[in-house]
Structure 1
Amino acid sequence: MGQPLQTYRKNNDVDRPASIVLFAATLLNTALAFSNSLLFPVNSTIASVAQLAITAAAIAVAVLRRPQLPLSFWIACACLGVFALLASIWNELNSKHYYDLMVIPIFIIFGSVIRQFPFKAFKLIIAAVGVICFLDAFLVGLYTTLFNPLSFFRNTRVWVSDQLASGSDEMGLYLGANRGGGSFFGFLTDHRIGGPFLEPLSLGYFAVVACMFFAVWFRHYPWQRAGAFAACLVLALLADSRVPSAMIILFFGLSCLQSHIRMAWSAWGPAIVLIAAFFFYMMSDGRLAESETPRRIAITFDVVTSTNIFELFSGALNVSRFGDSGILYLVYAATLPGMLLCLYLFSGVLSSTRLTPPILPLMASIYITTTALFGGAFLSIKTSALLGIMLGAASVGAVRSKLKARSMRKQPAPFSQPGYKPDLGAVGQQATN
């Protein structure tokens, strides 16, 4: 047994760049919406510059600290770049396509160089989410005064402004806050909660990513883990997010069995989800279904089943055909092989080491593949930063269970020793031990 690569210490040795980047990325839209509502108008240019600044800061820190991830990760990144270049031959890709392909890998790299996972920043984020969700649920007037999500999205999203007449943002809530057919969990509130993320879907996705962390951090504390998962489920229910709610329940079941989970299982995650979704599509009424879920899944498989092999492999798809499908968006930006590579790269399967808790890439692969069937929202920096940092930190052992962390508090941090070089192949160092 070698010494662990990264340790948790309850002293003042806080990795400030990691804390700042995580906090800023997760609550970026919250800050921009507050500014737009009470300080100065925010447009799409300001929002894009702020997002790029946070991403650039993560890149700068990663470069200075010399990331050491498995060779498979770097090969996958290079291959993804080649696939994107091939896709650009047939498709008119823009900077957003390239950014979306890079954002999660960038934060995985950043997470791999942090000295310790920013627990304090994560706790502050959880507190902010709870408080602002409370305002959204029970003090709607105050919430819309402080943030006015509809005004913010009108100023920063062209498709929102195209749907709204002048002055129609006075109601304040996001367009999707009131579902056309009524909320599935409408007994909780009279509208879908977006909280600090301003729109419900991102709140649901954040709840799923947060529960992945709790599955590892509270591994040896079943009651605390159950409480944390329950809190995440409440957030997903408040957002009226059905798929995230189902994933949280599934991940809780997996967390109870994580001592039996093997790393190789994560390789099957995307395949199982896609096959299950295809069978669901075949058994449902597709776009004609009354429920929203089969209609959304049908967007992907209607195109796949009616497109020739060349168009799929080259990504030469008509943009107007695939609508809101993250799977088809990735095919368009990186070809079919590139899309499949993205599912494994974004979920940390290719950045995992012996230190990575096997349950983490398994949950991430299910999350990435499932959410990609319902659009590209999983690529938003609001949730992708937390996911990427968590996966990157896990690759070098900086994400550990609470019990393991407590047992290591008095051990010297190896990264603080002169000449320290991480040995990613350390034998026997399983973070799930």
Structure 2
Amino acid sequence: MPDLKPEYTPQPSRLLTPPIVGVPPKRDYATSVVMLGGALLNAILAILNAWAFQVTGNILIGIQATITVAALMIVFKRATIELLPLVISTGVLGAFLTIGAINHGFSVRDTNDILLIPVFLAVGVTSRYFPKRQFIYLFSMVYGSAILEVVSASGYKALFSPLSYLVSTRAWISEVVTKANMEQGLYIGSDRGGGLIFSFIANHRIGGLFLEPLSMSYFAIISAMIFITMYRANSFKLNFSILMCLLLAMVSDSRLGVGLIVVFRIIAFIPEPMWSRRIAYFVPAVILFSAYLFYSFQIANGLGDTMSRLSVTIAETNRNPLPELILGNIATDQFGDSGILRIIYYSTIAGCLIALAIFSGITAGKFKGYSYVPTMAAIYITSSALFGGAFMSIKTVALFGIYVGVTANGRFEKPDNII
């Protein structure tokens, strides 16, 4: 009589199955944590400073370093061959930073700021998808804080006590703050010297969750970029989201923010197949040359203090001999108002051009399906670098870097197998 027992096929043990290298967990909590941690860092510390204990600059630096190390750990755990172009280009930038350190001495703060965007780009490249839900939560919190500051500045100051926190954690603010500033209780740049352009919305520049108006405007610009990717196929949702971003830029009284959001909405009209990521290579040169023309022919005279802000970069560049400019041997007294000069000083002019390319995401990936993103990123990075180095702050860098990195690897949408 034949044996009727079913044939047994041995199954491999799950414990012996080799892991899939470079694939993140099904739910990408780590990316969300460092993105929200970077964006909410100052708001949380400001509340603690107002209600619990004094937060010092060392505490701020320590927590920011912790977030950065956590981001690096995520990258090291997930590292794949995809990262190679970004790693090589960042290594080249590191070589120019070394030249800058030899010429001018090593600066931990400035080196960290310049390398922060590549770190979060790498987090994005190694992520499985962009955390859209967490971004919407963040956007809602930022909007709520802006509404609170517009409707009840006293309530906003009671919750965050922004100037007290900034004085405790920023040495340069504690040196220039006045009695009038302390009585107002807001960031010292909340009142613009040349007057507010959008004063019909609020009587001062709104900083909201970021405490500083400039960071608020940068968040609005980055959010517009993200919404263009999220809602590109839905005109109603896209236009509504862009309007929300425009309002954030307006309440922060940012002419740059309003202008770039409008430009990005125009870019969104152009079909994606018509774009090439290589366009981004030419963006910095076009913007810098345009800024030179604006300054030379006084085209922006009617836009408040725009001309004086441009002069920090253009006039300072003009008065330095070319050989000195190439080596980064330029004056250091106004770096707070020119990110371009700051990067040139610490990495030479060649390093600055490489940095702008890396920051735009050009070396992070092929942007399959998202070829317009590096162009928008290059426009944002180069334009904001003309007016200061605040675009390198972790408050906005974490969100920006992760978004550009995720689109570089073509994995913005969450895979269907993730609930």
TM-score when scaled to structure 2?
0.90
**Map 1:236-385 → 2, pairs under 5 A:** 236-259=249-272, 260-284=274-298, 291-320=304-333, 322=335, 324-355=337-368, 357-385=370-398
Separation in structure 1 between the aligned mates of residue 178 and residue 308 of structure 2, nearest angstrom:
28
For residue 73 of structure 1, the aligned residue among 82, 86, 94 is: 86
Match of 1:389 among 397, 402, 413: 402
Aligned residue in 2 for 1:150: 163
Cα gap change, 1:108 to 1:67, in 2 (>3 Å): farther
* Residues 253 and 166 of structure 1, relative CA distance in 2, 3 Å threshold: closer
Give the counterpart letter for 1:194 in structure 2: G
Tell me if structure 2 keeps the 8 A contact 1:267–1:349.
yes
SS of the residue 2:81 aligns to: coil
Conservation of the 8 A alpha-carbon contact between 2:224 and 2:241: yes
1:173 alignment partner, one of 186, 192, 195: 186
Contact kept, 8 Å, 1:87 with 1:316, in 2: the verdict is no
Aligned alpha-carbon RMSD (Å): 2.2
C-alpha contact (below 8 Å) 1:356/1:395 kept by paired residues = no
Between the aligned partners of 2:303 and 2:206, the Cα distance in structure 1 is 23
Matched, 1:125 2:138: yes
Contact preservation (8 Å) 1:103, 1:384: yes
CA deviation vs aligned residue, 1:103-127 (integer Å, no higher than 9, x gap): 0000011111222211221111011
Contact 2:381/2:391, CA 8 A, preserved across alignment? yes
Alignment gaps of 5+ in structure 2: 1-21
Note the C-alpha offset of 1:67: 3.9
Q: What is the rounded CA distance, in whole Å, between the counterparts of 2:264 and 2:75 in structure 1?
A: 30
**CA–CA separation in structure 2 for the residues paired with 1:138 and 1:170:** 19
Q: Which amino acid aligns with 2:37?
A: A
Task: Kindly indicate whether the alpha-carbon contact (under 8 Å) linking 1:300 and 1:325 is maintained by their aligned counterparts in 2.
Answer: yes
Per-residue deviation, 1:228: 0.7
Answer yes or no: is 1:40 the counterpart of 2:53: yes
**Contact 2:83–2:125 under 8 Å retained in 1:** no
Distance 1:226 1:167 in 2: 40
Task: Give the equivalent residue in structure 2 for 1:185.
Answer: 198
> For the residues of structure 1 that align with 2:366 and 2:336, how far apart are their CA atoms?
37
1 CA distance for matches of 2:279 and 2:115? 25
Provide the C-alpha distance between the structure 1 equivalents of 2:317 and 2:240, rounded to a whole number of angstroms: 41
The reply to whether residue 228 of structure 1 matches residue 230 of structure 2 is no
Q: Is the contact made by 2:277 and 2:373 (CA closer than 8 Å) also made in structure 1?
A: no
SS in 1 for 2:282: helix
Alignment correspondent of 1:139? 152
Number of aligned positions between the proteins:
396
- Indicate how the Cα distance of structure 1 residues 127 and 312 shifts in structure 2: closer, same or farther if over 3 A, else same: same
- Of the three residues 112, 136, 139, the one matched with 1:99 is 112
Mean CA deviation greater in 360-369 or 312-321 = 312-321
Instruction: Give the structure-1-normalised TM-score.
Output: 0.87
**Contact 1:303/1:321 (<8 A) preserved:** no
CA shift at 1:309, angstroms? 2.1
Question: Aligned AA for 1:160?
Answer: I
Sequence identity (%): 34
Query: Hey, what's the Cα distance between the residues in 2 that align with 1:85 and 1:76?
Result: 14
Give the deviation of 1:164 after TM superposition.
2.6
Asked if 1 retains the 8 angstrom alpha-carbon contact of 2:86 and 2:122, the reply is no
Moved more, 353-362 or 186-195: 353-362
- In terms of Rg, which structure is larger? 2
Q: What does residue 14 of structure 1 align with?
A: 27
The aligned amino acid for 1:267 is Y
Shift of 1:70: 5.3
For residue 24 of structure 1, the aligned residue among 8, 19, 37 is 37
Runs (5+) with no aligned partner, structure 1: 1-5, 414-433
Question: How far apart, in 1, do the equivalents of 2:245 and 2:376 lie?
Answer: 15
Q: 1:310 offset after TM fit, Å?
A: 2.1
**Contact 1:19/1:120 (<8 A) preserved:** no
CA contact (8 A) 1:108 1:389 kept: yes
